[in-house]
Structures are given as structure tokens and as C-alpha cells.
Structure 1
């Protein structure tokens, strides 16, 4: 593929490791993966400081360039990218958690070819490995409670059937993506055919559902969405699994 993508991710280790493996597997040779080093609420507040409430003239690459302290990395944000992805955790336990903030970020960053497309992982990126078996349909209803969040990385790793991201191949990624798509269909109670429309509208509904679940039950559906950036480019990538 000739396209060059930019991914702005929250963490410095797990997210770059996962996306580098994903892009290598699906032949996205040209990319930049930049760790923002803080969560989505920090990013939101810095955008407010930089642009105020009016985001109609928001230039995300310019903003990132101005925020970058390493002069050697500033040139990353001078390049032209066919797609820009943002990958962040839901982080409801953060004292800056705000439904307004995360809702506005989701609504604004909705187009990978212009402003960027935001993918939120629930509760965090380790949701990609938190699958006990690819045949275990209990994943479709699995949740994490508020009192478990501090130990979530350990829980996900101990219960995972696929903890080693460095070993992921097309089969592994396709199975994880398919399970997460099935889960979205299940928790939203929608028809599978809806996935053929703009998936981002569906991801907005997922966010709304997770906010309500958190407010009412102090829990979240375990769900990984960042891998869907590949699925959205080629929805047929998982069809072969159903033909096996």
C-alpha cells in the first residue's frame, strides 16, 4: 500500500506495539506512530487552551507540532498523510473524566482523511487481548467493574488466550476484530447488516451506551475498537472466517 498513515496513540509501549504489528501484517509500510504520552482528557484540555471553544479552524497537525518538545520530531507533523488515527482509552476513573469532553472529541475527530478518526478502547488498549477463547461467546457480554480497573492489565493478561501481540497474524487479528464487531452488534441490539453503513455512527452509539453503563452500574463492556481502522478500510477482511 502506498498510503502513509499517522497514528497518535496514548501510551508509549502497548499501542505502538499493537499498531506496528497490525500495519506490518496488513502491509501498511509507511506510517508514523506517535505516543502522545497522556490521556484523552489531557488532549481535550490542551486543545481548549490552544483553540478555545471554537474548533472550526482547528489544525490538528499544527497543534501537535506546537506541542512537540523534541525539535527533531516536529517534522513528523509537516508531512502529508492519507489517514490520521487517534487511539485512546476511555479512562472513566480519571478525575478529569467528562461526558462532554469525550463526546466532543468523538464527534469532532470523525474523519481519518481530514481531522483524524478517534478510536476509544474500553476500558483500555489491553481489551485487545482480553479474550479467553475465540469460540467463547461469553465475550459478547463481558464487562469490567470499576473496582477492577486498577488491576485490569493483569486481569486481561492472565485471562487471555492471545497475550503475545508480537505473534499476531492475519488469523489472530481477524478473529479479534470479528469478535468485537459481534459484540457491538450484540450490546447495541442491532442487525449485523448495519455494519455495512458508516461504522463511526455505530461507534458513537457505543460511546453513549458505555457512558450510561458507567453512570448506572460503574462498569463497562470490554471492547477494543482501534483494530477496526483496518476493518473499515477493507470490511471483507473477516468474511473468509465465516466460510471456513
Structure 2
């Protein structure tokens, strides 16, 4: 039986391309099955369907019942080793709600059951928004709320690694390492995060929301690449050699 990962994503093309390249690069043969959704639409539908009682809920069954397209329904009849939800931290969305996004982070805490939520700040292009692997400029990079409309252009212009299709293990490992070290710095920890990062992802989300509310800005950070770091313990050894 082929091993499959279900990726619930905002933009089916970019995120799927990135995840497929990531798992192929590390020789983790998994078929990525993508399903497009909006974080806030999902939140509203889940709350409407289940209310506050999510103790025994079945996310795939819920998605199947909510999907009107008969072909897309078939996606949820399959079996998956993991479910990843990859969404943008997008304060420009007119439905943006700290309560909603924090609640969704609470709902989706385990990739092997109902799913693990990864938020990219401000969006998936944060994975390419590194000007150099030779200095620590990325550790201090941030984006202002007023600049979000031009962020994709800025990320591509300033990137030292704009072409995802050319990423190899060295590039991916360096990007993951930089994001881990950035989190270590933001949380003022003595050691780089390792193991299950769920509590750290929740803490980072709270920190970013606080910065947004106080300064109308937040740190550039990519977390969706952590799925391979959490999934494959060998990643720790590779990163320690960098």
C-alpha cells in the first residue's frame, strides 16, 4: 500500500510543490494529496457543525460530508499516514481572527490523527525569503502589516534561493536550521528546538499575534518545513552536522 500524506492547503500549487520536493529530497517516499481550503472557512464550518464538542470528532468524515464535489469526496475515503494543514498568517484577510487561528492550532495538534497545523509567517514564500546562508540577517527579519501587499515580490527579489525546484538536502536543511535558530532566539531558549514542536508552534503563534497587535509587524518565519524535521528523526543528526 502506498504511503500518502493529506495536505490541507490554501494554495494547492505552491504548497504541494514545496512538500513534494521536501519529502522527495529526503528520500521519504510519500504521495502528497492536496486539498484546497481556507483556514477561516474551515473554522466557521467546524464550529457550526460541532460547536464546542470535538472530543471524538473525525476530521476526514467531516470534510467528506462538507464537500459537494463527488470526485473530491473520494479523497477522504483513502488512508493517510499524516495530515498536514498549511496556512498563511494573513492579517489582511477580512476574516482574520486571533481567536480563530489559535483555536485551530488547538484542534490540529497531531498529524497522525486529525492533523497538525503549520502557520507560515506571513505566507509560504517565507521559505525562500533568505538573503544569505552565510550571515544571521534572517534571524532578525520581519515584515510590517503595511508591506504585506508586496511581500511575494520582495521575497523573490531578496532571495538567495528563489527556485524551489532546485532545492536539495543542503538548502532545505539550512532553511530549517535557520528557522529553528530563529525560534530559539525569539523564545530566548538555550537550546535549539527538537522533537515534537507543537507547544513551540503554539507559543510562536501567540508571540506573533502579540507583535502584530502592538507593532503592526511580525517576524518572517516558515514552519511548514518542520513537518519533515518532526517526521524524520534523522533530520536532527543532519542539522547537527551543519
Q: Normalising by structure 2, report the TM-score.
A: 0.93
Q: Distance in 2 between matches of 1:238 and 1:133?
A: 22
Unaligned runs of 5+ in 2: none
**1:131–1:159 CA contact under 8 A, matched in 2:** yes
Q: What is the root-mean-square deviation of aligned Cα atoms in Å?
A: 1.8
**1:11–1:36 CA contact under 8 A, matched in 2:** yes
Residues 42-89 of structure 1, C-alpha deviations (whole Å, 9 max, x = no match)? 211121222223222321101221233331221221112121111011
Alpha-carbon shift at residue 37 of structure 1 (Å): 3.9
Residues 187-234 of structure 1, C-alpha deviations (whole Å, 9 max, x = no match)? 1111215x2353111111101100100000010100000000000122
Q: Normalising by structure 1, report the TM-score.
A: 0.92
Q: 2:228 aligns with which of 213, 218, 230?
A: 230
Q: Distance in 1 between matches of 2:103 and 2:170?
A: 35
Q: Partner residue of 2:127?
A: 128
Equivalent residues in 2 for 1:1-244 (5 A)? 3-38=3-38, 40-192=39-191, 195-237=193-235, 239-243=237-241
Alpha-carbon shift at residue 12 of structure 1 (Å): 2.3
Secondary structure of the residue that 2:12 maps to in structure 1? coil
Q: Distance in 1 between matches of 2:83 and 2:117?
A: 9
Q: Distance in 2 between matches of 1:20 and 1:165?
A: 10
**1:16–1:35 CA contact under 8 A, matched in 2:** no
How many residues get paired? 242
Unaligned runs of 5+ in 1: none
Does 98-107 or 72-81 show the bigger shift? 72-81
**2:2–2:31 CA contact under 8 A, matched in 1:** no
